Amino acid sequence: MNTLLTILFITAFLSCNAIVFASGDPPNIVFILADDLGIGDVNCYGGDRCLIDTPNIDSLAAGGVRFTDAHVNASVCAPTRRAIMTGRYPWRFSPAVNNGPWGFVGPRPGTEDSTLATVLNKAGYRTGYVGKWHLGTTMETLDGKAQGLTNVDFTRPLKHGPVQFGFDESFILPGSLDMYPYAFAHNNIWQGEVTAQKGWSAFNRVGPAEKDFEDHKVLETFYTQAEKFIRLQNAEEPFFLFLALTAPHTPTSPGVKWRGKSNLGVYGDFVMEVDHSVERVMLALQEKGLHENTLVLFSSDHGAASYAGNILKATPGQIQLLEAKGHYPSGPHRGYKFSVYEGGLRVPLIARWPGKIPQATTCDAMVGLNDLMATFAELTNTELEDHEAPDSISFAKQLANPKSVGTRRNLIMQSVMSFVVRDGNWKLCLCPGAGTPARRQGTQDNSQGNVPTPEDAWKRALSQFPKVPNEGDLVKAPFVQLFDLAKDPHEDHNVAAEHPDQVSVMVALLRRQVERGRSTPGPELKNDRNVKLVNANDKRLPAFVRERLDVK
């Protein structure tokens, strides 16, 4: 075959796959999101460095495509979920309102304006949300003040929750499994009697709880609710289900039937129950005869928490005890939850759609979970308005042809406090360390097992700088880290000093996307808040750093 014929054949092949997606019935969509699951916790990613059996997640990958360069937009829960739900970078939103502690977190204004649910509702989908919410709620209070530990009226429905985000059906826990209130809400209505005070093993945060609520029953409750939703669907009306699991996030509390299943210990037991959740969803789809035209995706909201493991009390750095046994939750990557490193930001992403996605394939294209909205819109022939999904790029092409060249060229991410920029294989971290908060006086190390600690990283950077730094200096070496992930996947060699031009290019890329209010083509938009590339007045920086900086 000559070159011209080869090109024509490839073009025809790509076009045919695009036509298949466009001309067939729109798929049902199920998106399963684990909580604090590291990429190395899944066997089909971790390989010999994974000591947990995950046969159902592995089977999902064997029946579809496994992405190798998929990322969340933040290495912490809530910002990731905002980006997934809206297709908009999470730092563009203004602070939460009616805000309370932990699961009493209030909503961010505007997050409900355009969501996965509202977009798919336009396409005629029945939409459901089951699981951890953590996108903010507004609760009725007894005193008219911001919701908190003592003033919520649990006899009255939520004023703001999944219903306002466009979901036809919802069954949620407001926050994470270790965040009070420990109670479910079905379609914004609290379930049971929230009259108890409870807390769980990890952090023992004691707060309002439904009288019969038990931490080890929550995961099963959620995949049972997911089954109920699927059983109510039919082949005539497409549906979307967002199943947000609460595991293996602390408290590490597998169901009674799963205790002792893993040779690794209770952490492995909990991951195995996550894997079972996938099995239950797939069986429910098969029982209804819906599995052939359902796109099922599985991922995690960020990397594993280094304080989680087989010690039930949250213990900084205990994840290293699992690594000593030969299990590496971050896989071949550096770092954990909260950090700028790949172990906190690179996640599993698996997609299965029989007859549409080639089986047992891998895709090396860069994608972000913020790309789900544009992808779902393309698959359902739904036109997005100019303001919708301003940071979302469809990867529908990669589903049909996993080896095709990806559309996304750059991606903005963040640790718990620092920006991260990907530009091809280059990765820039706008901080000298892991991007985690400094240790507060009288508390444990806030770096949560990520090294170097903020204190060590900033001391070294300041010692290498000959004068008092200003804010402009903080986006250059030695205050930033630049890695070439193609040559240095473990991020061991900071080459920012050797490549100042590349650093400047990536800082300019970030600044441009901040200023335009979007990263995709289209009319400029406004961010809901003032965004600084580096906040030199951030009180989470070590005190000696803020004292040394030349800022007002």
| Positions marked catalytic | 77, 134
Q: What is the dihedral of CA 280, 285, 287, 292, to 10 degrees?
A: -140
Beta bridge partners of 366: 69
The two tokens of residue 376 are 């779902």
Beta bridge partners of 410: 423
User: How buried is residue 470: exposed, middle or buried, by Cβ count under 10 Å (0-12/13-18/19+)?
Assistant: exposed
Q: What is the dihedral of CA 146, 147, 151, 153, to 10 degrees?
A: 120
CB 507 within 8 A of CB 526: no
259 phi and psi angles, rounded to 5 deg: -70, 125
**Reduced to 3 states, what is the DSSP secondary structure of residue 49?**
helix
Q: How would DSSP label each residue in 244-303?
A: EEEEESSS----GGGTT-STT-HHHHHHHHHHHHHHHHHHHHHHTT-GGGEEEEEEESS-
CA 243 to chain CA centroid, Å, is 13
Non-local (6+) Cβ contacts of 160 within 8 A are: 107, 112, 136, 137, 138
Say if strands 361-368 and 410-414 run parallel, antiparallel, or are unpaired.
unpaired
Residue type, 495: V
Q: Cα–Cα–Cα angle for 58, 45, 65, nearest 5°? A: 60
Residue 401 CA to residue 404 CA, distance in Å, equals: 5
Q: Listing from the earlier edge strand, what are the strands of the sheet with 28-35?
A: 189-190, 185-186, 169-173, 126-132, 239-248, 28-35, 294-300, 349-352, 65-71, 361-368
Non-local (6+) Cβ contacts of 267 within 8 A are: 248, 252, 308, 309, 310, 322
Say if strands 189-190 and 185-186 run parallel, antiparallel, or are unpaired.
antiparallel
CB 41 within 8 A of CB 298: no
User: How buried is residue 323: exposed, middle or buried, by Cβ count under 10 Å (0-12/13-18/19+)?
Assistant: middle
